[in-house]
Amino acid sequence: MTADYRVSGRHLWELQVHAKGDEMWFGVTTNANLCVSSRSMVSKENCYSYYGGRESYIRSDDGMWSQYYSLNDGPWGAFHAGQRSMPLKSAGKLRSYRAGDIVSLLIDVPARTMVLFHNGNYQATYTELPEAPLYLFAELDEQLDSFTLTVRDPECAPPYPRPQQQQ
pLDDT given for residue 86 in this prediction: 63
pLDDT given for residue 17 in this prediction: 94
Phi and psi torsions of 134, nearest 5°: -120, 150
pLDDT given for residue 49 in this prediction: 86
Query: Three-state SS for 18?
Result: strand
pLDDT given for residue 142 in this prediction: 83
Q: Are 117 and 13 in contact (CB under 8 A)?
A: no
Length of the chain: 167
pLDDT given for residue 167 in this prediction: 43
pLDDT given for residue 22 in this prediction: 79
pTM: 0.80
Instruction: Give CA–CA dist 136/6, Å, rounded.
Output: 7
Side chain identity, residue 121: N
pLDDT given for residue 84 in this prediction: 63
Regions of the chain with pLDDT less than 70:
1-4, 33-45, 55-75, 82-92, 163-167
> How are strands ordered across the β-sheet holding 78-81?
6-7, 134-140, 24-29, 47-51, 78-81, 84-85
Class of domain 3-156: mainly beta
